[in-house]
Amino acid sequence: MNELFRRLLMLPPQASSVARDVDTLHFALISVSVLGWLGVLSASIWFVVRGRRTGENGAPRGLRKFPSWLEPAVIGALLSGFVGVWLIGHAQYVHIQTPPRESLDVYVVAKQWMWSFAYEDGTASQHDLFVPARRPVRLLITSRDVVHSFFVPAFRIKQDAVPGRMTVAWFRATQPGSYPLLCTEYCGLSHSRMRGRVIALEPAHFEGWRRRFIDRDRPELSAISAGVGRARGATDDLASQGERVASERGCTRCHTIDGTPHLGPSWAGLYRSQVALQDGRRITADDAYLTRSMMDPLHELRVGFQAIMPSYLGELSAAETGALVAFIHSLERAPSAPRRAPLPYPSTTPVVVPAQRAPGKPGDSASPQLEVETIPTPATERP
Amino acid sequence: MSVDEGMASQAAPRERSFWTADTSVRSWLLTRDHKRIGILFLVGTSLSLALGGLFALLLRLELLTPDRTIMGPTTYNKLFTQHGVVMVWMFMIPAIPGIFGNFMLPIMIGARDVAFPTLNLASFWVYVLGAVVTLTALAAGGVDTGWTFYVPYSATSLSAVGWTVTGVFILGISTIMSAINFIVTTHTLRVQGLGWMQLPLFVWAIYGTAIIQVVATPVLGLSLLLVGLDHGFKLGIFDPQYGGDPIFYQHLFWFYSHPAVYIMILPGFGVISEVVSSFSHNPPVSYRLIVYSTFGISFVGFLTWGHHMFVSGMSTFDAGIFGLLSMFVAIFSAIKVFAWTMTLRGGAISLTTPLLYFFGFMFLFVFGGMTGVAVASESLDVHWHDTYFVVAHFHFVMVGGTLTAFLAALHYWFPKMTGRRYPERLGIASSSLVVLGFFFTFMPQFLLGNAGMPRRYYSYPEAYQWLNVLSTGGASVLACGLLLTLSYLCVACVRGAPAGDNPWGSRCFEWRVASPPPKHNFTELPDFERGAYAYAEEGGLP
């Protein structure tokens, strides 16, 4: 019954501890609404049909009095019905808004147009929020610029991210999987692209992910965090580190690496090319220019692009910046035949963990290919 | 004016109608006749409706495909903002009070004009000024903040925020001018012996609306002024970068904008009460309850604004209070729905275009209202807030409710205003197109919202595409229906068959004067002794 209604009303899977209850109230309310709606309509139609038949002589059939108890009865029924709905809805709301005590805390910072997450032990990620399944997670949410809203449809939770304030939400994912994360408060140009994922892992895998993340010198670990699997044994030169950083930091959401125009200039063939700036100058896109563009992107804005890129000053480490420049350098002679840009939002099918990508094919990092049930178990990968 | 030719066939020499009393352009533009001002508002708000509708069609076209179809994200963001601004402040709010309130209210209470005719004229020209300023903002690059102007986005947006809020501010002044006029007119110019509880329900609706407008609109004006200052001069009232509080803005904005929903729908309720009574030839069931619920809505409507902010970090206690009060508004609306349905019972029903729009209204508004109860339930709102479910809900109420009521009023009072009949068959055809087109535009959006598609989305996951295509298809049908209505009404203005004074056999007061009314409404005061809904009395149908 629950599943039938859910599919009929096109609701996402019920992946959190509160989703089922919320949906039950939803189904009940929609059913009563449709019944009430049909009732009012059929009564109107019945009155019209009778009125048409008897009204031919031009006179009304006569006005019959309604019994005097009808008015208070109708008002009483409406009052108790609506107050009943309110009681259930309010009780559920209090539950949704009150995090349990033993929850894992994650600090969520929204900005135009990305999500970043930090854990109390210093672990951090962007776009993708990694959480253990079956354990309550408390989110402490704020924003660095405008109002955003953290929305995971499969969890039936949503909370605004308000600059200058901290808001709180919580959820408990009932099973491992990948669930779309959306921004629901309009925040400008790329509002509809401000998407990420909540990736719920088996608690043991989550611990593995967290330990590996801290241990940054082991590249296959951050590969998982970036959602881009890498073949083990591939040479880890500066350019491929840069490719990983580009994916982790969300650069490839706006910049393509195959020459396709997107929100930002494509990186293919960009290195040492002549670019026209909006102030009329032409400039060579050398290492210095590329670095400046990351730190103060609006200062030397290219012709044909919006002033939308946020500054990465203080966001990127020196090593990451160097790696990014090396990566852009490696694309100097990249094929610039435009292909259709891959859509940068995640697949809606429940996905477990990033799959591995064949080495030496640098085209797909903008949209990580995901497959179900390819969990690299941390225990076996450890040398 | 040829509109008056219909009157020529009538035997008795009659006073010239307000259309032909004076025909110079100046006499129209500087008229202080409430009927002519109503006609001017009809022209102004219809142009706004056409413009807002055009924006809506462009938006729907863009949403045909998950990515770019005909415009980029910047244009899209500006278009949905302009669609909202034009539809809310240039059509929904001024339309029914500006046109039918102006035209009918004085006649319905036996007055020769409103209390302040010059102020009335000023309210129209201030409306035009506000509209021009708002639309020049479009020419100056447009504004991309959404009609809600949420801070800090609106304080930092590079678009023409200052211009637009100035335009809306001016439109608010026009609203207040009209509202003051309606309140004073209803209080002071009722014909002797016409008590409050004998007023036609439409007068009550306009009066209730006017009270909300006078109380709420200044808050909007103030808040938007402060947004403009935040945007232009970094004042820091709302922008946290300069020490302001964005949640404070949301409270102020919704303190106006929630009652504004009732500013938009209450006049529609008034129209529906008149239409259902006139076409079933029955007095409204429970006149008293309809009046009380109008005031219940006006009053409680002021105390529910917080339900727009359930996920903004509000305390559970506050949310509970706002949630409960929102349910009371639903009760008042439900009472009206039952009263209208029961009014049909035992009536002699003539199935005409206005009554079809009444059914369209019931079909759409009841569903829109019930989904309003759903989004007012706090735990459900957490999932649905800012998704397409909310978009569908308020379009069901605002378009399904107010627009169908507007079209019902336009057809119902068309013979009154012009003295001519519109073609009934075309009316029935176009009303079916409008209601069906509307249903298929917004029904899929409920499902999109369930699936989790947020509003104001330029691009969306491919799984949502078929519902978006269906919605765009519905919107085109709706547009065809409206264009058809516009064209036959224009033709009927000139060539329609003469209607006579009271073609519907209504007993309401406005039908007791000539159609179209003469310049000063009547030479001899019509009979106000017999009630506006005295269908049970002797005398048969006129």
Task: Provide the ipTM.
Answer: 0.90
CB under 8 Å to B167, separation ≥6 — which residues?
B85, B130, B131, B132, B133, B134, B135, B136, B137
Strand order through the sheet with A114-119: A124-126, A114-119, A104-111, A137-143, A167-171
Contacts of B213 by beta carbon, 8 Å cutoff, 6+ apart: B93, B175, B176, B178, B179, B263
Alpha carbon distance B124, B117 (integer Å): 11
Candidate from A32, A61, A156 with C-beta closest to B348: A61
Radius of gyration, CA atoms only, chain A: 28
* Whole-number Å distance between alpha carbons of B485 and B105: 25
For the segment A306-333, the average pLDDT, to the nearest whole number, is 82
Choose the weakest-confidence range: A43-52, B9-18, B246-255, B411-420. B9-18
Instruction: Report DSSP letters for B461-524, one per residue.
Output: -GGGHHHHHHHHHHHHHHHHHHHHHHHHHHHHHHHPPB--S-TT---SGGGGS-SSPBTTS-SS
Q: What is the pLDDT of residue A374?
A: 34
Torsion of CA B47, B49, B50, B53, to 10 degrees: 160
Residues A194 and A263 in one domain: no
* B338–A74 CB contact, under 8 Å: yes
User: Is B118 exposed, middle or buried, given 0-12, 13-18 or 19+ CB atoms closer than 10 A?
Assistant: exposed
Same domain, A86 and A119: no
For domain B31-512, say whether CATH 1.10.150.120 is its number: no
CB A246 within 8 A of CB A323: no
Of A97, A148, A263, which to mutate for an interface test with B (greatest number of B Cβ within 10 Å)?
Answer: A97
Contact B319 A88 (CB under 8 A): no
Of A29, A146, A157, the CB nearest to B377: A29
Interface test with B, best of A46, A90, A139, A195 (most B CBs within 10 A): A90
Query: Hey, are the CB atoms on A29 and B374 less than 8 Å from each other?
Result: yes
Element (H, E) at B408: helix B404-412
- Residue A189: φ, ψ to 5°: -45, -55
Tokens of A130: 């990694």
Size of the A and B interface in Cβ pairs below 8 Å: 264
Helical spans, DSSP H, in B140-245:
153-156, 161-188, 201-233
Could you tell me the residue ranges of all domains in chain B? Answer: 31-512
Confidence at residue A110, expressed as pLDDT on a 0 to 100 scale: 93
Chain B hits for A163, Cβ within 8 Å: 152, 240-241, 246
Q: Tell whether A25 is within 8 A of chain B (Cβ).
A: yes
Q: What is the mean pLDDT of chain B?
A: 91
Are A60 and B319 within 8 A, CB to CB?
no
Angstroms from B366 CA to nearest CA on chain A: 6
Residues of chain A with pLDDT > 70: what percent?
Answer: 77
Does the beta-carbon distance from A89 to B379 stay under 8 Å? yes
Chain A residues with CB-CB distance to B536 below 8 A: 60, 63
Mean pLDDT of B327-350: 88
Alpha carbon separation from B10 to A189, B5, B501, B504, B514 (Å, rounded): 63, 10, 10, 18, 11
> From the DSSP assignment, how many helices (H) and strands (E) are in chain A?
9, 14
Beta bridge partners of A117: A108, A125
**Of A256, A212, A245, A226, nearest to A363 (Cα)?**
A256
Same structural domain for residues A76 and A116? no
Sign, CA dihedral B228-B234-B237-B239, equals: positive
Q: What is the arithmetic mean of pLDDT over B267-278?
A: 95
Q: Are residues A142 and A194 in the same domain?
A: yes
Q: What is the mean pLDDT of chain A?
A: 78
For the segment B12-38, the average pLDDT, to the nearest whole number, is: 87
Pairing verdict, β A114-119 and A124-126: antiparallel
What pLDDT is stored for residue A265 in this prediction?
A: 87
Lowest mean pLDDT among A64-68, B27-31, B318-322, B497-501: A64-68
Residue-level pLDDT at B29: 92
Please tell me the distance from the alpha carbon of residue B402 to that of residue B365, in angstroms, as a whole number: 9
Q: Chain B contacts of A32, Cβ < 8 Å?
A: 370
- Is residue A149 in a domain? yes
Question: For residues B93 and B130, what is the distance between their CA atoms, to the nearest angstrom?
Answer: 13
Look at residue A272 in the predicted model and tell me its pLDDT. Answer: 85
Residue range A85-113, pLDDT digits in tens: 999 999 999 999 999 988 999 999 998 88
Q: Which residues pair with B17 in a beta bridge?
A: B518
Q: Is residue A295 part of a domain?
A: yes
Inter-CA distances, A167 with A154, B186, B235, Å: 20, 48, 25
Contacts of B383 in chain A (CB under 8 A): 22, 26, 153, 156-158
Domain boundary among A184, A205, A226: A205
Closest partner residue to B380 (CB to CB) among A26, A48, A83 is A26
Rounded to the nearest 10°, the torsion over CA A213, A215, A216, A217 is -150
Is B362 within 8 Å of A9 when comparing Cβ atoms?
A: no
pLDDT of residue A61: 52
Cα–Cα distance measured from residue A137 to residue A30, given in angstroms and rounded to the nearest whole number: 30
Of residues A262 and A280, more confidently modeled:
A280
A223 or B178, which is more confident? B178
DSSP state of A251: G
Whether the CB-CB separation of B258 and B164 falls below 8 Å is answered with: no
Most confident of A54-63, A133-142, B520-529: A133-142
A193 is in which domain, residue-wise?
Answer: 104-205
End-to-end Cα, chain B, rounded Å: 28
Q: For residue A210, is it within any domain?
A: no
My answer on whether A160 and A49 are in the same domain is no
Whether A26 is in a domain gets the answer yes
Residues A72 and A192 reside in one and the same domain: no
The residue among A205, A226, A247 that closes a domain is A205
Can you give the pLDDT at residue A197? 92
> How far does CA B453 lie from the centroid of its chain?
27
**pLDDT per residue over B365-411, tens digit each?**
988 998 999 999 999 999 999 999 999 999 999 888 999 999 999 99
Q: What is the spatial distance between Cα B408 and Cα B504, in angstroms, rounded to a whole number?
A: 13
**Domain-located, residue A296:** yes
The beta-carbon neighbor of B383 closest among A22, A63, A183 is: A22
pLDDT of residue B293: 92
Q: Does A42 touch chain B (CB under 8 A)?
A: no
- Closest Cα in chain A to B375: A26
Give domain status of residue A60, yes or no: no
The residue-averaged pLDDT of A232-254 equals: 74
- Strand, helix or coil at B126? helix
Return the half-sphere exposure (C-beta side, CA atoms, 13 A cut-off) of residue B489. 25
Flag whether pLDDT at B542 surpasses 80: no
The CA distance from B374 to A263, in Å, is: 38
- Using pLDDT thresholds of 50, 70 and 90, give the confidence band for residue A263: confident
Q: How far is A167 from chain B (nearest CA, A)?
A: 5
B331 and A78 within 8 Å at the Cβ level: the answer is yes
- B421: closest CA among B515, B328, B487? B515
Within a domain: A114:
yes
Is B379 in contact with A82 (Cβ distance < 8 A)? no
Q: For residue A282, what are its two tokens? A: 């032409």
CATH of the domain at A243: 1.10.760.10
- Please, which residues have CB within 8 angstroms of residue B187's CB and are 6 or more apart in sequence? none
Q: Both A137 and A47 in a single domain?
A: no
Strand locations in A172-212 (E): 177-183, 196-201
Round to whole Å and give the CA distance between B508 and B200.
7
Q: Which chain B residue has the Cα nearest residue A76?
A: B331
pLDDT of amino acid A375 = 36
Q: What is the pLDDT of residue A357?
A: 38
The position carrying tokens 């799959």 is A355
On the CB side of B508, CA atoms within 13 Å amount to 31
Q: Are residues A289 and A354 in the same domain?
A: yes
A93 and A139 belong to one structural domain: no
Report the range of poorest mean pLDDT among A252-256, B84-88, B195-199, B246-250: A252-256
Token pair recorded at residue A304: 């044909």
- Indicate yes or no: CB of B461 within 8 angstroms of CB of A60: no
**Interface probe with B: pick from A33, A49, A86, most Cβ of B within 10 Å:** A86
Max Cα-Cα span within chain B: 74
Angle between helices B353-376 and B424-451 (to 10 degrees): 10
**Segment holding A149, helix H or strand E:** strand A148-152
Residue A227 has pLDDT above 60, yes or no: no
Q: Which of B11, B171, B158 is nearest to B87 (CA)?
A: B171
Tokens of B105: 């209210």
Q: Is B260 within 8 Å of B216 (Cβ atoms)? A: yes
Q: Report yes or no on A294 lying in a domain.
A: yes
CA distance A14 to chain B (A): 12
How much is the pLDDT for A236?
Answer: 65
Binary contact (A89, B323; C-beta < 8 A): yes
Residue for token pair 């209803």: B186
Taking a C-beta distance cutoff of 8 angstroms, is the pair A238, A322 a contact? yes
Q: Is residue A130 scored above 90 in pLDDT?
A: yes
Asked whether the beta carbons of residue A10 and residue B346 sit closer than 8 angstroms, the reply is no
Residues A298 and A240 in one domain: yes
CA B490 remoteness from chain centre? 21
pLDDT at position B1 is: 38
Least confident of A48-62, A112-126, A332-346: A332-346
Let me know whether A128 and A156 are in one domain. yes
- The DSSP secondary structure of B415-433, one letter per residue, reads HHHHSBPPPHHHHHHHHHH
Same domain for A243 and A345, yes or no, is yes
Q: Is the pLDDT of residue A259 over 80?
A: no
Looking at per-residue pLDDT, the higher value among B536 and B429 belongs to: B429
Rounded average pLDDT over B519-539: 82
Lowest mean pLDDT among A334-348, A368-382, B182-196, B417-431: A368-382
Cα–Cα distance measured from residue A242 to residue A228, given in angstroms and rounded to the nearest whole number = 13
How many structural domains comprise chain A? 3
Q: Are B210 and B183 in contact (CB under 8 A)?
A: yes
Closest residue to A37, CB basis, from B351, B366, B451: B366
Flag the least confident range among A75-84, A151-160, B4-13, B236-245: B4-13
Q: Which of A12, A88, A191 sits opposite B451 (nearest CB)?
A: A12
Residue among B342, B343, B397 at smallest CA distance from B370: B397
- Is B249 in contact with B227 (CB distance < 8 Å)? yes
Is it the case that residue A340 has pLDDT exceeding 50? no
Contacts of A51 in chain B (CB under 8 A): 280, 344, 346-349
Sort strands A177-183 and A167-171 into parallel, antiparallel or unpaired.
unpaired
- Please, what's the b/e burial string for B245-256 (b: 16 or more CB within 10 A of its CB; e: otherwise)? bbbebbbbbbbb
* Per-residue confidence (pLDDT) for residue A68, from 0 to 100: 79
The answer to whether residue B335 scores a pLDDT higher than 70 is yes
User: Rounded to 5 degrees, what are φ and ψ at A149?
Assistant: -145, 130
Residue B204 — pLDDT band, cuts 50, 70, 90?
A: very high
Q: Which residue has the tokens 């809900």?
A: B393
